[in-house]
Amino acid sequence: MKSYQNIVLLQNLYRLKAIGFEYIDPFSINEANELTKAQTLSELELTIRNCHLCDLSKSRTQSMSGYGNENADVLIIDFSVSQVQDTTNNYYAGRAGETLKNMIINVLEYQLEDIYITHCVKCKPLNANLPSLSEFNSCSSYINSQIEFIKPKVIVTLGEHAYVHLTKDANNFENVRGHLIDFKGYKLVPIYHPTHLLKNPELKKRALADLKTIKKLCN
């Protein structure tokens, strides 16, 4: 069965479950009703906002597809949506968001509207937990499509979880952090998550050096 048919099937099963069905006879998907692959980033964002591929769709305030310039030089990828981001629908909410703002504006010397920011998992996890592998897998085609639509000069992953899940690289994070990684033909640089820097301010000098590496790659 085609991958997009699988998505349609799963969406139908979630809808049936939501209205009380516990069992249905097998049914086939008409080829004419096959989910159409998004042709633009805007179409993809609409698909993400209306996604019901996993149970996080039941607890989220909204699905956060991404924010910024669709032709951005820099694509920033966080792992999952935080409580404050979900509540405010703001990618730069809270102390971590303010830290990230300062990193972008003061060191990379971009305005927030110049870059694009998104998450591997588009919805807030339950009870502040890390998203499960199945929840990440439900979103994996979205993040890969966003990369292909934007075609950034540099991909920046925030923290270990975003890097490991996106690249499937099990290396010690400290061995790759701040280094240039070849990811599917794109330049990728993993850096510390702003939350980690707030808890470990002694790492800010390393983070500054990593940001300068990113800045050079964008020139």
pLDDT tens for each residue of 172-219: 999 999 999 999 999 999 999 999 999 999 999 999 999 999 999 998
User: What are the beta bridge partners of residue 4?
Assistant: none
Q: How much is the pLDDT for 31? A: 35
Buried b (16+ CB within 10 A) or exposed e, 49-87: eebbbbbbbeebeebbbbbbbeebbbbbbbbbbbeebbe
Residue 6 has pLDDT above 60, yes or no: no
Please tell me the least confidently modeled range out of 48-57, 83-92, 147-156. Answer: 48-57
- At a CB cut-off of 8 Å and minimum separation 6, what does 65 contact? 44, 45, 48, 49, 118, 122, 142
- H helices of 30-170, in order, are 41-49, 83-88, 94-102, 133-150, 159-167
The dotted CATH code for 65-218 is 3.40.470.10
The separation between the first and the last C-alpha atoms of the chain, rounded to the nearest angstrom, is: 44
Q: DSSP assignment, residue 89?
A: T
The per-residue pLDDT for 115 is 97
Give the pLDDT of residue 16.
60
Q: How confident is the model over 155-171, as a mean pLDDT?
A: 95
Lowest mean pLDDT among 10-24, 98-112, 153-167: 10-24
Q: Please tell me the pTM assigned to this model.
A: 0.82
Per-residue model confidence as pLDDT tens digits over 52-88: 888 888 878 889 999 999 999 999 999 999 989 989 9
Q: Per-residue pLDDT averaged across 22-34, rounded? A: 42
- Residues contacting residue 115 through CB under 8 Å, at least 6 positions apart: 68, 69, 72, 73, 74, 75, 76, 104, 108
User: If we measure between CA atoms, which residue out of 88, 64, 95 comes closest to residue 193?
Assistant: 95
